[in-house]
Protein backbone atom coordinates (compact mmCIF):
# COMPACT_ATOMS: atom_id res chain seq x y z
CA UNK A 1 0.00 0.00 0.00
CA UNK A 2 1.30 3.46 -0.95
CA UNK A 3 0.07 6.32 1.21
CA UNK A 4 0.73 10.00 0.45
CA UNK A 5 0.15 12.49 3.28
CA UNK A 6 -0.11 16.06 1.98
CA UNK A 7 -1.70 18.39 4.56
CA UNK A 8 -1.74 22.13 5.03
CA UNK A 9 -0.67 23.63 8.34
CA UNK A 10 -3.23 23.76 11.14
CA UNK A 11 -2.85 27.55 11.50
CA UNK A 12 -1.35 28.36 14.91
CA UNK A 13 -1.52 24.74 16.16
CA UNK A 14 0.91 22.77 13.98
CA UNK A 15 3.03 23.21 10.88
CA UNK A 16 2.27 21.16 7.77
CA UNK A 17 5.50 19.26 8.41
CA UNK A 18 4.42 18.32 11.94
CA UNK A 19 0.89 17.44 10.85
CA UNK A 20 2.20 15.03 8.23
CA UNK A 21 4.69 13.40 10.62
CA UNK A 22 2.19 12.95 13.44
CA UNK A 23 -0.44 11.40 11.17
CA UNK A 24 2.23 9.06 9.76
CA UNK A 25 3.23 8.05 13.29
CA UNK A 26 -0.36 7.10 14.03
CA UNK A 27 -0.62 5.03 10.85
CA UNK A 28 2.63 3.17 11.55
CA UNK A 29 1.40 2.26 15.03
CA UNK A 30 -1.38 0.21 13.39
CA UNK A 31 -0.24 -0.87 9.92
CA UNK A 32 2.62 -3.19 9.02
CA UNK A 33 6.08 -1.85 8.23
CA UNK A 34 5.84 -2.71 4.52
CA UNK A 35 3.36 0.11 4.01
CA UNK A 36 5.01 2.93 2.01
CA UNK A 37 4.25 6.33 3.49
CA UNK A 38 5.30 9.49 1.65
CA UNK A 39 5.18 12.80 3.51
CA UNK A 40 4.56 15.91 1.42
CA UNK A 41 3.77 18.98 3.57
CA UNK A 42 1.79 21.55 1.60
CA UNK A 43 0.76 25.18 1.66
CA UNK A 44 -1.58 27.41 -0.31
CA UNK A 45 0.46 30.57 0.15
CA UNK A 46 -0.09 30.82 3.88
CA UNK A 47 2.27 30.22 6.77
CA UNK A 48 4.96 27.66 5.99
CA UNK A 49 5.08 28.35 2.25
CA UNK A 50 8.64 29.71 2.14
CA UNK A 51 9.97 26.67 4.04
CA UNK A 52 8.84 24.38 1.20
CA UNK A 53 11.46 25.85 -1.14
CA UNK A 54 15.18 25.23 -1.32
CA UNK A 55 17.61 27.89 -0.15
CA UNK A 56 19.16 29.48 2.91
CA UNK A 57 16.81 30.20 5.80
CA UNK A 58 17.33 33.84 6.78
CA UNK A 59 16.18 35.03 10.22
CA UNK A 60 16.32 38.70 11.17
CA UNK A 61 14.70 41.25 13.48
CA UNK A 62 11.59 42.96 12.16
CA UNK A 63 8.19 44.06 13.49
CA UNK A 64 4.91 42.21 13.87
CA UNK A 65 1.53 43.52 12.72
CA UNK A 66 1.32 45.71 15.85
CA UNK A 67 4.75 47.27 15.35
CA UNK A 68 6.41 45.26 18.12
CA UNK A 69 9.95 43.95 17.64
CA UNK A 70 10.02 40.30 16.65
CA UNK A 71 12.03 37.90 14.47
CA UNK A 72 10.91 36.39 11.19
CA UNK A 73 12.40 33.90 8.75
CA UNK A 74 12.30 33.60 4.98
CA UNK A 75 14.10 31.50 2.35
CA UNK A 76 16.66 32.93 -0.03
CA UNK A 77 17.88 31.03 -3.08
CA UNK A 78 21.05 32.96 -3.87
CA UNK A 79 21.87 30.90 -6.95
CA UNK A 80 18.64 31.88 -8.67
CA UNK A 81 18.28 35.24 -6.88
CA UNK A 82 14.81 34.36 -5.58
CA UNK A 83 13.38 35.25 -2.15
CA UNK A 84 10.50 33.21 -0.75
CA UNK A 85 8.64 35.21 1.90
CA UNK A 86 5.41 34.55 3.82
CA UNK A 87 3.35 37.57 4.83
CA UNK A 88 2.43 35.50 7.88
CA UNK A 89 6.07 35.28 9.00
CA UNK A 90 6.15 38.86 10.27
CA UNK A 91 2.58 40.10 9.84
CA UNK A 92 0.63 36.99 10.77
CA UNK A 93 -2.14 36.25 13.21
CA UNK A 94 0.03 33.85 15.19
CA UNK A 95 2.32 36.69 16.29
CA UNK A 96 -0.49 38.96 17.55
CA UNK A 97 -3.11 36.51 18.75
CA UNK A 98 -2.73 37.97 22.24
CA UNK A 99 -3.77 41.45 21.14
CA UNK A 100 -5.60 41.84 17.84
CA UNK A 101 -5.81 45.37 16.46
CA UNK A 102 -7.72 45.19 13.15
CA UNK A 103 -7.84 48.94 12.47
CA UNK A 104 -4.13 49.65 12.90
CA UNK A 105 -2.38 46.34 12.17
CA UNK A 106 0.00 46.70 9.22
CA UNK A 107 2.46 44.83 7.02
CA UNK A 108 5.55 46.97 7.68
CA UNK A 109 7.44 43.95 9.04
CA UNK A 110 6.93 42.06 5.78
CA UNK A 111 8.31 45.05 3.88
CA UNK A 112 11.44 44.87 6.03
CA UNK A 113 11.96 41.25 4.96
CA UNK A 114 11.52 42.21 1.30
CA UNK A 115 14.06 45.02 1.66
CA UNK A 116 16.54 42.63 3.27
CA UNK A 117 16.12 40.14 0.43
CA UNK A 118 16.76 42.87 -2.15
CA UNK A 119 19.92 43.90 -0.30
CA UNK A 120 21.19 40.32 -0.65
CA UNK A 121 20.70 40.42 -4.41
CA UNK A 122 17.19 39.01 -4.87
CA UNK A 123 15.72 39.86 -8.25
CA UNK A 124 12.49 37.89 -7.85
CA UNK A 125 10.04 37.62 -4.97
CA UNK A 126 7.66 34.73 -4.32
CA UNK A 127 5.24 36.06 -1.71
CA UNK A 128 2.86 33.79 0.21
CA UNK A 129 -0.22 35.82 1.08
CA UNK A 130 -2.13 33.71 3.61
CA UNK A 131 -2.46 34.07 7.36
CA UNK A 132 -2.12 37.83 7.78
CA UNK A 133 -3.42 39.78 10.78
CA UNK A 134 -3.82 42.90 8.66
CA UNK A 135 -6.25 44.75 6.39
CA UNK A 136 -3.95 47.54 5.24
CA UNK A 137 -3.91 46.89 1.49
CA UNK A 138 -0.14 46.34 1.59
CA UNK A 139 0.54 49.96 2.58
CA UNK A 140 2.81 48.82 5.41
CA UNK A 141 5.02 46.97 2.95
CA UNK A 142 5.47 50.03 0.75
CA UNK A 143 6.00 52.24 3.79
CA UNK A 144 8.90 49.98 4.80
CA UNK A 145 10.25 50.43 1.27
CA UNK A 146 10.13 54.23 1.55
CA UNK A 147 6.69 55.21 0.30
CA UNK A 148 4.68 57.82 2.19
CA UNK A 149 0.87 57.65 2.24
CA UNK A 150 -0.56 61.17 2.63
CA UNK A 151 -3.89 62.80 3.43
CA UNK A 152 -5.28 65.87 1.64
CA UNK A 153 -3.13 68.18 3.82
CA UNK A 154 0.07 66.34 2.95
CA UNK A 155 0.33 64.67 6.36
CA UNK A 156 1.50 61.06 6.70
CA UNK A 157 -1.26 58.62 7.57
CA UNK A 158 -0.87 56.39 10.63
CA UNK A 159 -0.49 52.61 10.12
CA UNK A 160 -3.39 50.33 9.32
CA UNK A 161 -6.41 50.11 7.07
CA UNK A 162 -8.82 52.42 8.88
CA UNK A 163 -6.76 55.55 8.21
CA UNK A 164 -6.80 54.88 4.46
CA UNK A 165 -10.26 56.42 4.11
CA UNK A 166 -8.36 59.76 4.32
CA UNK A 167 -5.79 58.81 1.68
CA UNK A 168 -5.22 61.47 -1.00
CA UNK A 169 -1.83 60.67 -2.54
CA UNK A 170 1.36 58.60 -2.27
CA UNK A 171 4.88 60.02 -2.29
CA UNK A 172 7.39 57.51 -3.70
CA UNK A 173 10.32 59.89 -4.10
CA UNK A 174 12.32 57.96 -1.47
CA UNK A 175 11.27 54.51 -2.61
CA UNK A 176 13.70 51.59 -2.39
CA UNK A 177 13.64 50.93 -6.12
CA UNK A 178 15.75 47.78 -5.93
CA UNK A 179 13.17 46.13 -3.68
CA UNK A 180 10.01 47.58 -5.19
CA UNK A 181 10.99 46.75 -8.77
CA UNK A 182 11.61 43.03 -8.20
CA UNK A 183 9.62 40.60 -10.30
CA UNK A 184 6.84 39.39 -8.01
CA UNK A 185 4.74 36.23 -7.92
CA UNK A 186 2.00 36.49 -5.30
CA UNK A 187 0.55 33.20 -4.07
CA UNK A 188 -3.06 33.74 -3.02
CA UNK A 189 -4.82 31.34 -0.67
CA UNK A 190 -8.24 32.83 -1.50
CA UNK A 191 -10.00 34.35 -4.51
CA UNK A 192 -11.54 37.14 -2.44
CA UNK A 193 -11.86 40.55 -4.12
CA UNK A 194 -10.66 43.67 -2.37
CA UNK A 195 -14.05 45.23 -1.60
CA UNK A 196 -17.75 44.49 -1.42
CA UNK A 197 -19.83 41.96 0.54
CA UNK A 198 -17.41 39.18 -0.45
CA UNK A 199 -14.33 41.37 -0.03
CA UNK A 200 -11.41 41.21 2.33
CA UNK A 201 -12.91 43.48 5.00
CA UNK A 202 -16.34 41.87 5.09
CA UNK A 203 -15.16 38.27 5.03
CA UNK A 204 -11.80 38.19 6.78
CA UNK A 205 -11.49 41.25 9.01
CA UNK A 206 -13.88 39.76 11.62
CA UNK A 207 -11.48 36.81 11.93
CA UNK A 208 -8.77 39.36 12.71
CA UNK A 209 -10.74 40.91 15.54
CA UNK A 210 -12.88 43.46 13.69
CA UNK A 211 -16.32 44.46 14.93
CA UNK A 212 -19.13 45.34 12.52
CA UNK A 213 -18.18 49.02 12.89
CA UNK A 214 -14.51 48.18 12.29
CA UNK A 215 -15.44 46.32 9.11
CA UNK A 216 -17.17 49.43 7.76
CA UNK A 217 -14.09 51.56 8.49
CA UNK A 218 -11.76 49.06 6.85
CA UNK A 219 -14.05 48.73 3.83
CA UNK A 220 -13.98 52.51 3.40
CA UNK A 221 -10.19 52.51 3.69
CA UNK A 222 -9.58 49.72 1.18
CA UNK A 223 -12.09 51.26 -1.23
CA UNK A 224 -10.30 54.61 -1.06
CA UNK A 225 -6.92 52.94 -1.55
CA UNK A 226 -8.13 51.21 -4.71
CA UNK A 227 -9.61 54.49 -5.96
CA UNK A 228 -6.44 56.56 -5.38
CA UNK A 229 -4.16 53.88 -6.85
CA UNK A 230 -6.57 53.09 -9.71
CA UNK A 231 -6.54 49.36 -8.94
CA UNK A 232 -9.54 47.21 -9.88
CA UNK A 233 -10.89 45.90 -6.56
CA UNK A 234 -12.95 43.17 -8.23
CA UNK A 235 -9.99 41.10 -9.42
CA UNK A 236 -10.18 37.65 -7.75
CA UNK A 237 -7.49 37.36 -5.08
CA UNK A 238 -6.93 41.13 -4.80
CA UNK A 239 -8.26 40.90 -1.24
CA UNK A 240 -5.79 38.21 -0.14
CA UNK A 241 -3.77 39.04 2.98
CA UNK A 242 -5.96 42.03 3.72
CA UNK A 243 -5.45 43.44 0.24
CA UNK A 244 -1.64 43.23 -0.03
CA UNK A 245 -1.87 42.71 -3.83
CA UNK A 246 -3.41 46.19 -4.19
CA UNK A 247 -0.25 48.12 -3.35
CA UNK A 248 2.15 45.63 -4.91
CA UNK A 249 0.23 45.56 -8.18
CA UNK A 250 0.16 49.37 -8.24
CA UNK A 251 3.85 49.88 -7.52
CA UNK A 252 5.00 47.23 -10.00
CA UNK A 253 2.74 48.64 -12.70
CA UNK A 254 3.96 52.17 -11.93
CA UNK A 255 7.64 51.25 -12.09
CA UNK A 256 7.48 48.92 -15.08
CA UNK A 257 4.69 50.53 -17.08
CA UNK A 258 2.58 47.37 -17.09
CA UNK A 259 1.75 44.15 -15.27
CA UNK A 260 4.33 41.87 -16.90
CA UNK A 261 6.51 41.86 -13.78
CA UNK A 262 3.83 40.88 -11.28
CA UNK A 263 1.37 38.00 -11.14
CA UNK A 264 -1.33 36.95 -8.69
CA UNK A 265 -1.97 33.20 -8.82
CA UNK A 266 -3.61 30.44 -6.73
CA UNK A 267 -0.90 29.37 -4.31
CA UNK A 268 -1.76 25.70 -3.82
CA UNK A 269 -1.65 24.90 -7.53
CA UNK A 270 1.74 26.54 -7.95
CA UNK A 271 3.16 24.63 -5.00
CA UNK A 272 1.78 21.35 -6.37
CA UNK A 273 3.65 21.97 -9.62
CA UNK A 274 6.88 23.22 -8.06
CA UNK A 275 7.18 20.46 -5.47
CA UNK A 276 6.21 17.57 -7.74
CA UNK A 277 3.20 16.41 -5.76
CA UNK A 278 1.18 15.63 -8.87
CA UNK A 279 3.62 12.93 -9.98
CA UNK A 280 4.10 11.67 -6.43
CA UNK A 281 0.39 11.20 -5.86
CA UNK A 282 -0.51 9.73 -9.26
CA UNK A 283 -0.08 6.07 -8.23
CA UNK A 284 -0.99 6.40 -4.55
CA UNK A 285 -3.48 3.94 -3.06
CA UNK A 286 -4.36 6.34 -0.24
CA UNK A 287 -4.27 10.15 -0.16
CA UNK A 288 -4.49 12.02 3.15
CA UNK A 289 -4.76 15.78 3.41
CA UNK A 290 -6.02 18.16 6.06
CA UNK A 291 -6.41 21.62 7.52
CA UNK A 292 -7.53 23.22 10.75
CA UNK A 293 -11.13 23.70 9.62
CA UNK A 294 -12.81 22.27 6.53
CA UNK A 295 -15.49 24.78 5.52
CA UNK A 296 -16.85 26.86 2.63
CA UNK A 297 -13.43 28.45 2.11
CA UNK A 298 -11.85 25.09 1.30
CA UNK A 299 -13.16 24.96 -2.26
CA UNK A 300 -11.71 28.41 -3.02
CA UNK A 301 -8.30 27.04 -4.02
CA UNK A 302 -7.22 25.80 -0.58
CA UNK A 303 -4.76 22.92 -0.20
CA UNK A 304 -7.37 20.29 0.63
CA UNK A 305 -9.49 20.90 -2.47
CA UNK A 306 -6.44 20.90 -4.75
CA UNK A 307 -4.93 17.74 -3.27
CA UNK A 308 -8.23 15.84 -3.44
CA UNK A 309 -8.49 16.63 -7.14
CA UNK A 310 -5.13 15.08 -8.04
CA UNK A 311 -6.08 11.40 -7.72
CA UNK A 312 -9.82 10.81 -7.28
CA UNK A 313 -9.32 7.05 -7.78
CA UNK A 314 -7.38 6.71 -4.52
CA UNK A 315 -8.96 6.26 -1.10
CA UNK A 316 -9.10 9.80 0.25
CA UNK A 317 -9.17 11.16 3.80
CA UNK A 318 -9.45 14.69 5.20
CA UNK A 319 -8.14 15.32 8.73
CA UNK A 320 -9.44 18.51 10.37
CA UNK A 321 -10.12 20.07 13.72
CA UNK A 322 -13.65 20.79 12.48
CA UNK A 323 -15.57 19.72 9.41
CA UNK A 324 -18.25 22.32 8.73
CA UNK A 325 -19.99 21.08 5.63
CA UNK A 326 -20.25 18.04 3.37
CA UNK A 327 -17.11 16.42 2.01
CA UNK A 328 -16.84 15.47 -1.67
CA UNK A 329 -18.39 12.12 -2.55
CA UNK A 330 -16.23 9.21 -1.45
CA UNK A 331 -13.95 11.30 0.78
CA UNK A 332 -13.82 10.28 4.44
CA UNK A 333 -13.43 12.83 7.20
CA UNK A 334 -11.45 12.39 10.40
CA UNK A 335 -12.17 14.98 13.10
CA UNK A 336 -9.54 15.48 15.78
CA UNK A 337 -10.29 14.23 19.29
CA UNK A 338 -10.81 16.76 22.07
CA UNK A 339 -7.37 17.37 23.57
CA UNK A 340 -4.89 20.17 24.21
CA UNK A 341 -2.11 17.92 22.91
CA UNK A 342 -1.96 18.50 19.15
CA UNK A 343 0.49 15.64 18.58
CA UNK A 344 -1.83 13.24 20.40
CA UNK A 345 -4.79 14.46 18.32
CA UNK A 346 -2.98 13.92 15.02
CA UNK A 347 -1.46 10.57 15.99
CA UNK A 348 -4.93 9.36 16.95
CA UNK A 349 -6.24 10.58 13.58
CA UNK A 350 -3.56 8.44 11.94
CA UNK A 351 -4.68 5.48 14.06
CA UNK A 352 -8.28 5.95 12.90
CA UNK A 353 -7.28 6.09 9.23
CA UNK A 354 -5.21 2.93 9.55
CA UNK A 355 -8.05 1.13 11.32
CA UNK A 356 -10.44 2.06 8.51
CA UNK A 357 -7.94 0.85 5.90
CA UNK A 358 -7.68 -2.50 7.68
CA UNK A 359 -11.47 -2.83 7.69
CA UNK A 360 -11.53 -2.05 3.97
37 and 54 assigned to the same domain: no
How many Cβ atoms sit within 10 Å of the Cβ of residue 1? 14
Using a 10 angstrom Cβ sphere, with 0-12 exposed, 13-18 middle and 19 or more buried, the burial of residue 174 is: exposed
257 and 316 assigned to the same domain: no
Q: What is the residue range of 106's domain?
A: 50-268
84 and 228 assigned to the same domain: yes
Q: What is the pTM of this model?
A: 0.86
146 and 288 assigned to the same domain: no
How many Cβ atoms sit within 10 Å of the Cβ of residue 99? 11
DSSP H helix total and E strand total for the chain: 13, 13
Residues 6+ apart with CB under 8 A from 74: 50, 57, 58, 83, 84, 85, 86, 89, 113, 117
215 and 252 assigned to the same domain: yes
231 and 326 assigned to the same domain: no
Give the number of domains in the chain: 2
Q: Domain ends where: 268, 287, 302?
A: 268
CATH, residue 298: 3.40.50.10350
Q: Domain ends where: 268, 284, 306?
A: 268
Radius of gyration of the CA atoms of the chain, in A: 21
34 and 72 assigned to the same domain: no
Burial 30-47 (b: 16+ CB within 10 A, else e): bbeeebebebbbbbbbbb
30 and 55 assigned to the same domain: no
132 and 249 assigned to the same domain: yes
95 and 8 assigned to the same domain: no
Contact of 307 with 327, CB cutoff 8 Å: no
Instruction: Give the closest residue to 287 by CA, choosing from 2, 39, 4.
Output: 4
Q: What is the DSSP string of 147-169?
A: -EEE-TTSPBPPSSSGGGGG--E
User: For residues 279 and 267, what is the distance between their CA atoms, to the nearest angstrom?
Assistant: 18
64 and 191 assigned to the same domain: yes
Predicted pLDDT of residue 98: 76
CATH, residue 75: 3.90.1510.10
C-alpha pair distances (Å), 9 with each of 225, 270, 322:
32, 17, 14
Predicted pLDDT of residue 246: 98
pLDDT one digit per residue (tens) for the chain, 360 residues:
999 999 998 876 888 999 999 999 999 999 977 889 999 999 888 888 898 899 999 999 999 999 999 999 999 999 999 999 999 999 999 888 778 999 999 999 999 999 999 999 999 999 999 889 999 999 999 999 999 999 999 999 999 999 999 999 999 999 999 999 999 999 998 889 999 999 999 999 999 999 999 999 999 999 999 999 999 999 999 999 999 999 999 999 999 999 999 999 988 888 888 888 999 999 999 999 999 989 877 776 788 999 999 999 999 999 999 999 899 999 999 999 888 899 999 999 999 999 999 998
Q: Domain ends where: 268, 286, 312?
A: 268
Amino acid sequence: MRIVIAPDSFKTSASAHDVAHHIATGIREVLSNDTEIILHPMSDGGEGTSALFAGERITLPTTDALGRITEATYTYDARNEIAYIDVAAASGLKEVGDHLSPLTADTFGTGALIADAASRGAKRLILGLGGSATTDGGTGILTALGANFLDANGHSLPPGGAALKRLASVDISRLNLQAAAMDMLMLADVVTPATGPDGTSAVYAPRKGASAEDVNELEAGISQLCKVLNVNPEIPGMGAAGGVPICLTWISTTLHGGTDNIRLVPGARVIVDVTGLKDEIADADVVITGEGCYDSDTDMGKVVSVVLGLNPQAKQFVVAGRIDGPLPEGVRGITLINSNDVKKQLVRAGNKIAEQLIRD
